[in-house]
Structure 1
Amino acid sequence: MSEQRSLRYWTLVPFVALCAGVIAFGQQFPLGEWFASLRQPPLAPPNWIFGVVWTPLYCMIAVAGWLLWERAANSWAMRWWFVQLGLNAAWSWIFFGLHRIDAALVEIVVLWLAIGATIASAWRPVRAAAGLLIPYWGWVAFAMVLNGWYWVLNR
Protein backbone atom coordinates (compact mmCIF):
# COMPACT_ATOMS: atom_id res chain seq x y z
CA MET A 1 0.00 0.00 0.00
CA SER A 2 1.41 3.39 -0.92
CA GLU A 3 2.17 5.97 1.76
CA GLN A 4 -0.39 8.35 0.26
CA ARG A 5 -3.10 5.69 0.37
CA SER A 6 -2.32 4.68 3.97
CA LEU A 7 -2.37 8.34 5.04
CA ARG A 8 -5.82 8.66 3.48
CA TYR A 9 -7.23 6.17 5.98
CA TRP A 10 -6.30 8.50 8.82
CA THR A 11 -9.03 10.81 7.55
CA LEU A 12 -11.51 8.19 8.81
CA VAL A 13 -10.52 8.94 12.42
CA PRO A 14 -12.47 12.23 12.74
CA PHE A 15 -15.63 10.54 11.48
CA VAL A 16 -15.29 7.73 13.99
CA ALA A 17 -14.62 10.36 16.67
CA LEU A 18 -17.72 12.34 15.68
CA CYS A 19 -19.90 9.24 15.88
CA ALA A 20 -18.29 8.25 19.19
CA GLY A 21 -19.07 11.76 20.42
CA VAL A 22 -22.74 11.30 19.52
CA ILE A 23 -22.74 7.99 21.40
CA ALA A 24 -21.10 9.61 24.45
CA PHE A 25 -23.55 12.51 24.34
CA GLY A 26 -26.50 10.13 24.22
CA GLN A 27 -25.16 8.12 27.14
CA GLN A 28 -25.46 11.21 29.34
CA PHE A 29 -29.19 10.51 29.37
CA PRO A 30 -29.65 7.05 30.94
CA LEU A 31 -32.98 5.24 30.80
CA GLY A 32 -33.58 5.65 34.53
CA GLU A 33 -36.78 5.57 36.54
CA TRP A 34 -38.67 7.84 34.14
CA PHE A 35 -38.25 5.44 31.24
CA ALA A 36 -38.97 2.41 33.44
CA SER A 37 -42.28 4.03 34.46
CA LEU A 38 -43.50 4.39 30.88
CA ARG A 39 -46.06 2.03 29.39
CA GLN A 40 -44.13 -0.08 26.89
CA PRO A 41 -45.23 -0.57 23.29
CA PRO A 42 -46.00 -4.18 22.34
CA LEU A 43 -43.21 -4.17 19.75
CA ALA A 44 -40.53 -2.75 22.07
CA PRO A 45 -37.42 -4.94 22.00
CA PRO A 46 -35.40 -5.57 25.17
CA ASN A 47 -33.19 -2.61 26.06
CA TRP A 48 -29.94 -4.52 25.44
CA ILE A 49 -30.81 -4.79 21.72
CA PHE A 50 -30.21 -1.09 21.19
CA GLY A 51 -26.50 -1.26 21.92
CA VAL A 52 -26.14 -4.33 19.73
CA VAL A 53 -27.86 -2.57 16.82
CA TRP A 54 -26.45 0.93 17.23
CA THR A 55 -22.79 -0.13 17.40
CA PRO A 56 -22.54 -1.37 13.80
CA LEU A 57 -24.88 1.38 12.62
CA TYR A 58 -22.58 4.09 14.01
CA CYS A 59 -19.62 2.37 12.35
CA MET A 60 -21.48 2.46 9.03
CA ILE A 61 -22.47 6.11 9.58
CA ALA A 62 -18.81 6.97 10.20
CA VAL A 63 -17.59 5.14 7.10
CA ALA A 64 -20.36 6.72 5.00
CA GLY A 65 -19.31 10.19 6.18
CA TRP A 66 -15.68 9.41 5.47
CA LEU A 67 -16.48 8.16 1.95
CA LEU A 68 -18.47 11.31 1.27
CA TRP A 69 -15.60 13.43 2.57
CA GLU A 70 -13.12 11.58 0.37
CA ARG A 71 -15.20 11.66 -2.82
CA ALA A 72 -17.75 14.47 -2.49
CA ALA A 73 -16.60 16.78 0.30
CA ASN A 74 -18.31 19.87 -1.05
CA SER A 75 -21.69 18.29 -1.73
CA TRP A 76 -25.21 18.35 -0.41
CA ALA A 77 -24.71 14.75 0.68
CA MET A 78 -21.88 15.81 2.98
CA ARG A 79 -23.93 18.67 4.39
CA TRP A 80 -26.88 16.36 4.99
CA TRP A 81 -24.57 13.85 6.67
CA PHE A 82 -23.63 16.46 9.29
CA VAL A 83 -27.27 17.53 9.71
CA GLN A 84 -28.49 13.98 10.32
CA LEU A 85 -25.69 13.33 12.82
CA GLY A 86 -26.66 16.43 14.80
CA LEU A 87 -30.30 15.41 14.74
CA ASN A 88 -29.32 11.91 15.85
CA ALA A 89 -27.62 13.36 18.94
CA ALA A 90 -30.51 15.73 19.66
CA TRP A 91 -33.09 12.95 19.80
CA SER A 92 -31.50 11.33 22.88
CA TRP A 93 -31.46 14.66 24.67
CA ILE A 94 -35.10 15.42 23.80
CA PHE A 95 -36.49 11.97 24.62
CA PHE A 96 -34.34 10.82 27.54
CA GLY A 97 -33.04 14.16 28.82
CA LEU A 98 -36.08 16.40 28.53
CA HIS A 99 -38.63 13.54 28.74
CA ARG A 100 -40.47 15.10 25.81
CA ILE A 101 -41.89 12.14 23.92
CA ASP A 102 -43.99 14.43 21.72
CA ALA A 103 -41.10 16.69 20.70
CA ALA A 104 -38.87 13.63 20.20
CA LEU A 105 -41.45 12.21 17.81
CA VAL A 106 -41.39 15.37 15.70
CA GLU A 107 -37.60 15.41 15.84
CA ILE A 108 -37.20 11.77 14.79
CA VAL A 109 -39.44 12.36 11.77
CA VAL A 110 -37.11 15.21 10.78
CA LEU A 111 -34.11 12.93 11.44
CA TRP A 112 -35.59 10.20 9.23
CA LEU A 113 -36.16 12.74 6.45
CA ALA A 114 -32.59 14.04 6.83
CA ILE A 115 -31.19 10.51 6.55
CA GLY A 116 -33.32 10.02 3.43
CA ALA A 117 -31.98 13.29 2.01
CA THR A 118 -28.43 12.14 2.76
CA ILE A 119 -29.02 8.84 0.98
CA ALA A 120 -30.71 10.49 -2.01
CA SER A 121 -28.03 13.13 -2.43
CA ALA A 122 -25.21 10.59 -1.98
CA TRP A 123 -26.65 8.02 -4.38
CA ARG A 124 -25.00 9.33 -7.54
CA PRO A 125 -21.66 10.62 -6.31
CA VAL A 126 -20.91 7.93 -3.68
CA ARG A 127 -23.33 5.03 -3.90
CA ALA A 128 -21.39 3.04 -1.29
CA ALA A 129 -21.97 5.79 1.28
CA ALA A 130 -25.67 5.86 0.43
CA GLY A 131 -25.87 2.09 0.76
CA LEU A 132 -24.18 2.14 4.16
CA LEU A 133 -26.89 4.49 5.44
CA ILE A 134 -29.87 2.39 4.35
CA PRO A 135 -29.86 0.07 7.42
CA TYR A 136 -29.62 3.16 9.65
CA TRP A 137 -32.59 4.70 7.83
CA GLY A 138 -34.56 1.51 8.40
CA TRP A 139 -33.68 1.34 12.09
CA VAL A 140 -34.65 4.98 12.58
CA ALA A 141 -37.98 4.20 10.87
CA PHE A 142 -38.52 1.47 13.46
CA ALA A 143 -37.45 3.85 16.26
CA MET A 144 -39.90 6.41 14.89
CA VAL A 145 -42.73 3.87 15.17
CA LEU A 146 -41.63 3.03 18.72
CA ASN A 147 -41.48 6.72 19.62
CA GLY A 148 -45.01 7.11 18.26
CA TRP A 149 -46.22 4.19 20.36
CA TYR A 150 -44.59 5.65 23.48
CA TRP A 151 -46.36 8.93 22.81
CA VAL A 152 -49.76 7.27 22.29
CA LEU A 153 -49.44 5.07 25.38
CA ASN A 154 -48.03 7.70 27.75
CA ARG A 155 -49.73 11.02 27.01
Structure 2
Amino acid sequence: MTASIAAFLGFIAAVAAVAVTGVVFKPGAWYERIRKPGFTPPDWLFPIAWTVLYLMIAVSGFLVWREVGIAGAPVAFLFFAAQLVFNAAWSPLFFGAHRPDLAMADLGLLWFAILATILSFWEVSVLAALLLAPYLIWVTYAGALNAVIWRLNGARPRPAGTV
Protein backbone atom coordinates (compact mmCIF):
# COMPACT_ATOMS: atom_id res chain seq x y z
CA MET A 1 0.00 0.00 0.00
CA THR A 2 1.40 3.36 -0.97
CA ALA A 3 1.79 6.20 1.48
CA SER A 4 -0.96 8.16 -0.28
CA ILE A 5 -3.49 5.35 0.06
CA ALA A 6 -2.54 4.85 3.70
CA ALA A 7 -2.88 8.58 4.37
CA PHE A 8 -6.26 8.76 2.66
CA LEU A 9 -7.48 5.79 4.70
CA GLY A 10 -6.13 7.54 7.81
CA PHE A 11 -8.22 10.61 7.07
CA ILE A 12 -11.26 8.40 6.42
CA ALA A 13 -10.62 6.61 9.73
CA ALA A 14 -10.33 9.92 11.61
CA VAL A 15 -13.66 11.21 10.35
CA ALA A 16 -15.26 7.79 10.85
CA ALA A 17 -14.16 7.89 14.49
CA VAL A 18 -15.89 11.26 14.82
CA ALA A 19 -19.00 9.89 13.09
CA VAL A 20 -19.24 7.11 15.68
CA THR A 21 -20.42 9.63 18.27
CA GLY A 22 -23.45 10.32 16.08
CA VAL A 23 -24.18 6.60 15.96
CA VAL A 24 -23.75 6.10 19.70
CA PHE A 25 -25.64 9.25 20.72
CA LYS A 26 -28.76 9.16 18.55
CA PRO A 27 -31.74 11.51 18.73
CA GLY A 28 -34.05 8.96 20.38
CA ALA A 29 -37.27 9.45 22.30
CA TRP A 30 -36.02 12.54 24.18
CA TYR A 31 -35.42 14.41 20.94
CA GLU A 32 -38.74 13.28 19.48
CA ARG A 33 -40.65 14.78 22.42
CA ILE A 34 -38.93 18.16 22.83
CA ARG A 35 -40.15 21.27 21.03
CA LYS A 36 -38.42 21.95 17.70
CA PRO A 37 -38.74 24.76 15.17
CA GLY A 38 -40.58 24.38 11.89
CA PHE A 39 -37.30 24.41 9.96
CA THR A 40 -36.13 21.15 11.56
CA PRO A 41 -35.22 18.76 8.76
CA PRO A 42 -36.55 15.19 8.70
CA ASP A 43 -34.48 12.66 10.65
CA TRP A 44 -33.56 10.71 7.50
CA LEU A 45 -31.66 13.72 6.11
CA PHE A 46 -29.01 13.84 8.84
CA PRO A 47 -27.14 10.60 8.06
CA ILE A 48 -27.12 11.40 4.35
CA ALA A 49 -25.84 14.94 4.87
CA TRP A 50 -23.20 13.87 7.38
CA THR A 51 -21.95 11.00 5.23
CA VAL A 52 -21.32 13.40 2.37
CA LEU A 53 -19.81 16.03 4.66
CA TYR A 54 -17.50 13.56 6.39
CA LEU A 55 -16.24 12.31 3.05
CA MET A 56 -15.57 15.90 1.96
CA ILE A 57 -13.75 16.60 5.24
CA ALA A 58 -11.52 13.54 4.77
CA VAL A 59 -10.74 14.42 1.14
CA SER A 60 -9.99 18.00 2.14
CA GLY A 61 -7.49 16.96 4.79
CA PHE A 62 -5.92 14.45 2.44
CA LEU A 63 -5.45 17.04 -0.32
CA VAL A 64 -3.54 19.34 2.02
CA TRP A 65 -1.51 16.44 3.37
CA ARG A 66 -0.64 15.38 -0.18
CA GLU A 67 0.57 18.90 -1.03
CA VAL A 68 2.68 19.71 2.04
CA GLY A 69 2.30 16.98 4.65
CA ILE A 70 1.35 17.65 8.23
CA ALA A 71 4.73 19.21 8.97
CA GLY A 72 4.21 21.63 6.07
CA ALA A 73 0.97 23.00 7.54
CA PRO A 74 1.05 22.34 11.29
CA VAL A 75 -1.33 25.18 12.20
CA ALA A 76 -3.81 24.14 9.52
CA PHE A 77 -3.80 20.57 10.80
CA LEU A 78 -4.15 21.78 14.38
CA PHE A 79 -7.35 23.56 13.30
CA PHE A 80 -8.38 20.47 11.33
CA ALA A 81 -7.93 18.28 14.42
CA ALA A 82 -9.76 20.81 16.61
CA GLN A 83 -12.81 20.84 14.37
CA LEU A 84 -12.90 17.04 14.50
CA VAL A 85 -12.79 17.12 18.31
CA PHE A 86 -15.55 19.74 18.54
CA ASN A 87 -17.59 17.82 15.97
CA ALA A 88 -17.24 14.61 18.00
CA ALA A 89 -18.33 16.40 21.19
CA TRP A 90 -21.64 17.75 19.90
CA SER A 91 -23.74 14.55 19.81
CA PRO A 92 -22.77 13.47 23.35
CA LEU A 93 -23.58 16.96 24.64
CA PHE A 94 -26.86 17.42 22.78
CA PHE A 95 -28.31 13.92 22.47
CA GLY A 96 -26.40 12.22 25.30
CA ALA A 97 -26.47 14.85 28.05
CA HIS A 98 -29.61 16.61 26.72
CA ARG A 99 -27.76 19.91 27.02
CA PRO A 100 -28.46 22.19 24.06
CA ASP A 101 -26.74 25.01 25.95
CA LEU A 102 -23.41 23.16 26.14
CA ALA A 103 -23.90 21.84 22.61
CA MET A 104 -24.39 25.44 21.43
CA ALA A 105 -21.10 26.48 23.01
CA ASP A 106 -19.45 23.52 21.31
CA LEU A 107 -21.01 24.53 17.98
CA GLY A 108 -19.56 28.01 18.32
CA LEU A 109 -16.09 26.56 18.81
CA LEU A 110 -16.68 24.11 15.96
CA TRP A 111 -17.77 26.92 13.62
CA PHE A 112 -14.63 28.95 14.32
CA ALA A 113 -12.41 25.87 14.00
CA ILE A 114 -13.94 25.07 10.60
CA LEU A 115 -13.49 28.66 9.43
CA ALA A 116 -9.87 28.64 10.63
CA THR A 117 -9.31 25.33 8.83
CA ILE A 118 -10.78 26.74 5.61
CA LEU A 119 -8.60 29.85 5.79
CA SER A 120 -5.50 27.79 6.60
CA PHE A 121 -6.19 25.20 3.91
CA TRP A 122 -6.84 27.95 1.33
CA GLU A 123 -3.13 28.83 1.42
CA VAL A 124 -2.25 25.27 0.38
CA SER A 125 -5.19 24.04 -1.71
CA VAL A 126 -8.18 26.10 -2.76
CA LEU A 127 -10.05 22.90 -3.56
CA ALA A 128 -9.42 21.56 -0.04
CA ALA A 129 -10.75 24.79 1.43
CA LEU A 130 -13.81 24.82 -0.83
CA LEU A 131 -14.63 21.22 0.11
CA LEU A 132 -15.15 22.46 3.68
CA ALA A 133 -17.56 25.26 2.71
CA PRO A 134 -20.69 23.03 2.74
CA TYR A 135 -19.61 21.80 6.19
CA LEU A 136 -19.45 25.38 7.48
CA ILE A 137 -22.86 26.10 5.95
CA TRP A 138 -24.38 22.96 7.51
CA VAL A 139 -22.89 23.77 10.93
CA THR A 140 -24.26 27.32 10.64
CA TYR A 141 -27.70 25.84 9.99
CA ALA A 142 -27.22 23.33 12.83
CA GLY A 143 -26.27 26.23 15.10
CA ALA A 144 -29.50 28.06 14.29
CA LEU A 145 -31.47 24.88 14.90
CA ASN A 146 -29.62 24.20 18.17
CA ALA A 147 -30.16 27.80 19.34
CA VAL A 148 -33.91 27.70 18.71
CA ILE A 149 -34.25 24.31 20.41
CA TRP A 150 -32.39 25.75 23.41
CA ARG A 151 -34.68 28.80 23.45
CA LEU A 152 -37.84 26.70 23.11
CA ASN A 153 -36.88 24.12 25.73
CA GLY A 154 -34.31 25.67 28.08
CA ALA A 155 -30.80 24.52 28.95
CA ARG A 156 -31.96 21.09 30.19
CA PRO A 157 -35.08 20.35 28.18
CA ARG A 158 -37.52 17.86 29.57
CA PRO A 159 -39.92 16.03 27.31
CA ALA A 160 -43.53 17.15 27.49
CA GLY A 161 -45.40 15.59 30.39
CA THR A 162 -42.35 15.15 32.64
CA VAL A 163 -41.46 17.04 35.80
Q: Could you give the per-residue CA deviations for residues 46-69 of structure 1, whole angstroms, max 9, x where no partner exists?
A: 011111111110000011111122
Shift of 1:10: 2.9
Aligned to 2:91: 92
CA distance in 1, matches of 2:150, 2:93: 13
Aligned to 2:160: none
CA distance in 2, matches of 1:104, 1:29: 13
Aligned to 1:105: 104
Shift of 1:26: 2.0
CA distance in 2, matches of 1:7, 1:102: 42
| Counterpart pick for 1:70 among 66, 70, 86 | 66
Provide structure 2 residue ranges, at least 5 long, that are not aligned to the other structure: 155-163
Residues 15 and 54 in structure 2, CA contact (< 8 A), matched pair in contact too: yes
Matched, 1:153 2:143: no
Q: Which amino acid aligns with 1:62?
A: A
Q: Could you give the per-residue CA deviations for residues 26-54 of structure 1, whole angstroms, max 9, x where no partner exists?
A: 21112112111110111101011111111
CA distance in 2, matches of 1:11, 1:107: 28
Shift of 1:22: 1.1
Q: Structure 1 residues 114-123 or 25-34, which shifts more?
A: 25-34
Aligned to 1:51: 47
- The DSSP-based 3-state class of the residue aligned with 1:44 is coil
Aligned to 1:16: 12
| Counterpart pick for 1:38 among 27, 34, 54 | 34
Q: What is the percent sequence identity of the aligned residues? A: 42
Q: Which amino acid aligns with 1:121?
A: S
Residues 26 and 91 in structure 2, CA contact (< 8 A), matched pair in contact too: no
Shift of 1:9: 2.7
TM-score, with length taken from structure 1? 0.92
Residues 93 and 102 in structure 2, CA contact (< 8 A), matched pair in contact too: yes
Pairs aligned (count):
151
Residues 21 and 88 in structure 2, CA contact (< 8 A), matched pair in contact too: yes
CA distance in 1, matches of 2:65, 2:13: 14
TM-score, with length taken from structure 2? 0.88
- The DSSP-based 3-state class of the residue aligned with 1:27 is helix
